[in-house]
Amino acid sequence: MKIIKHSDLDFEANVRVVVGRADLDLVVHDTTVREILKQIKERGDAALLEFTRRFD
């Protein structure tokens, strides 16, 4: 986590970056996350190990 201080010279630029993140479209990721959770629920540890290898 980056700490942003009001006294920093680039404070305003940093705030714009953080505020801009709120505009991200998370719907795209929602489908992926739901599928991963479904697989883990259905296949248990086998799916968990598969996703660990894939994403770690």
Could you report the per-residue pLDDT of 10-24, keeping only the tens digit for each?
999 998 888 877 666
Question: Which residue segment(s) compose the domain that 56 sits in?
Answer: 24-56
User: For residue 34, is it within any domain?
Assistant: yes
Q: What is the pLDDT of residue 26?
A: 75
Tell me the whole-structure pTM to 2 decimals: 0.54
Q: What is the pLDDT of residue 2?
A: 83
Q: How many folded domains does the chain comprise?
A: 1
User: For residue 35, is it within any domain?
Assistant: yes
User: For residue 3, is it within any domain?
Assistant: no
Tokens representing residue 33 in the block: 């996350």
- From the number of C-beta atoms within 10 Å of its C-beta (0-12, 13-18, 19+), residue 47 rates as middle
The C-alpha angle 43, 56, 47, rounded to 5 degrees, equals 5
pLDDT in tens, 1-55: 788 899 999 999 998 888 877 666 777 788 899 999 999 999 999 999 999 999 9
